[in-house]
A and B are shown apart, each in its own frame.
Chain A
Amino acid sequence: MTLHQRRFETVVPDRPIGRLDDIADGHSRGFDPLGEGRDTMFVVRRGGSVFAYRNHCPHYDRARMAWKKDEFMNGDRSQIMCSAHGALFSIEDGACTQGPCLGLSLYPVAVELRDGEIWITEPYAPGFWRERSA
């Protein structure tokens, strides 16, 4: 077992990652559910719905996507943007619509709203450190 795996287990977090109200409508926000020191996922809010993805661009290994803390969207907030090379993704299904990741999709995170709180509902793997064999 590797060092990071001992420290950051793949788990279903036992508390919500945040509240719907923390995200302005139409905006995005990064989260760090396992406390790795980096936002390893982000959530986009559309009215009462949320869409959650890992903060990994399918273009490069472990590429982080925002250009600034919580900024995961293009100018008019109609799509998700990777600010590394400008790939655009549909908010609803994460499919790339333009740029380096055409044919690929963002990695979804299963989330659920309970009483205005955002919960991850499936096992969540660490995202920051690369897998390394012991």
Chain B
Amino acid sequence: MRIVGPDELVFGVDDPAACRSFLADYGLMEAPAPDGAHFFEALDGTGFTLRRRDDPALPAPLRTGSMLRLTVWGVEDQASLDAIEAELSRDRKVDKAADGTLRCQDDAGFEIAFRISTRRKLDLPAEMINSPGAKPGRPANVIGANQDAEARPRTLSHIVYFVPDMDKMANFYIDRLKFVVTDKFNNAGPFLRPQANWDHHCLFMIQTPEYMQGLEHVAFHMQGPTDLMLAGSRMVKKGYESFWGPGRHKFGSNWFWYFNSPLGTHIEYDADMDLHDDEWEARYADIQPETAQMFLFENVEKWTPGGPPPGKK
């Protein structure tokens, strides 16, 4: 089943103004949306739809009050969509909208949808670095430190759910939708990628009590570590609350920086995630600070070295 990745997350929020300013400052761009909704997108058109929590256009909420109301997966083509419809219709009601979008619930009770992916194809440069012993990554006279770089999120990267029965949920994506396990935290959950995406993970889950079911975080890919640092420091400067990071994860290798948000979830910048094909053999580890990150920093205010200590001549 050729699922490409998450195309869109739909939220029912209680402070739309706060959410809109947060997402704009995070770097997403507001794009046209239907009445009563706001859509914020990354460079490839993946992104978030916001509606008021009580908007009847939203799917029913989880009982936990999570603001996440729907996860929309993009698929490669109509054949994939048909295959998903046939597979899931075997044991659940699958609604089909006029535009062909399929809607149902997964085995954990999350509302999910599938549509032919609306992702725009990106043709953008990678972060270019110079490394002794290697051919220059940037030609002579091309500057690496650009304070004014746009540093916009490029694409929706991954979703991490809190879920009461991790195996039940994981097996749904693995058995029914043919997601692939890339690595696994034994005491948390598996990292999963859909078949049409080589990213180390588009989907991850953490086992929790029932009253916590919802979102742990969602992430967008940045150009590279530098854009991640730049975008994250801009957030800090504007007064947003850094939750974890910047650092670099072990499983997936991605750089990370997480921020609290008025959407009631962490929103992460990530960069330089590993890619895996079908040859890859999953690794298994227990989740703990040592396995979760290679290193971790805390942002502090900018500072520069100078001459003598203050007060001395």
Contact = CB atoms under 8 A, between A and B. Distances in A.
Interface of A: 37, 63-71, 74-76, 81-86, 88, 98-100, 102
Given A67-B22, A74-B15, A76-B14, A81 B264 contact: yes
Given A66-B241, A71-B262, A85 B18 contact: no
Interface of B: 13-15, 18, 22, 64-67, 162, 208, 211-212, 214-216, 238-241, 243, 259-262, 264-266, 300-301
Contacts of B18: 67, 71, 75
Given A67-B260, A75-B15, A83-B264, 14 more contacts: A66-B260, A67-B18, A68-B238, A68-B239, A68-B241, A74-B14, A81-B264, A83-B261, A85-B214, A85-B264, A86-B214, A86-B264, A88-B65, A99-B211
A68 B23 CA distance: 12
B23 to A, nearest CB: 12
Closest 7 CB pairs of A and B: A86-B264, A75-B14, A75-B15, A69-B239, A83-B260, A67-B260, A100-B212
Contacts of B22: 67-68
Q: Is the interface of B mostly helix, strand, loop or mixed?
A: loop
Nearest to B259: A67
Central interface residue in B208, B239, B260, by most chain A CB within 10 Å: B260
Contacts of A84: 243, 260, 265-266
A83 B300 CA distance: 21
B298 to A, nearest CB: 9
Contact of A64 (B14, B260, B264): B260
A99 B64 contact: yes
A83 B241 CA distance: 9
A99 B241 contact: no
A83 to B, nearest CB: 4
B214 to A, nearest CB: 7
A128 to B, nearest CB: 9
Contacts of B66: 86
B64 A83 contact: no
A67 B261 contact: yes
B216 A85 contact: yes
